[in-house]
Amino acid sequence: MIEVYKILHGVYDEKVVPELVTVQGSVTRGNSLKLKVNRCKYDINKFSFCSRAVLKWNMLPDSMVLASSVNAFKNNLDKFWDHDGIIYDQAYDFY
């Protein structure tokens, strides 16, 4: 999510980042920087960064995606996901 924030807010050079298309005129739910969900026919596209990140990004509230800085976004994201019960255990043994 942090990378999507950086891409949409112009932290990276536009020539080297993947294209994320924002939806214009969507006023129902989510945030004002909603991204267009691309339909994928092949698995290579289904599991790409853009396809995986779009759905999660569109669920974030407007106050988060319009944060004033990357650090403010990180702090808001931690608080938001803390209430969702998402647990990231980096010490988990996959073997």
pLDDT in tens, 34-53: 888 888 777 777 778 888 88
Per-residue pLDDT at 85: 57
Give me the residues paired with residue 88 across strands: none
Q: Tell whether the model's pLDDT for residue 54 goes beyond 60.
A: yes
Helical ranges in 1-95 per DSSP H: 2-8, 43-46, 49-58, 62-65, 70-84
- pTM, to two decimals: 0.72
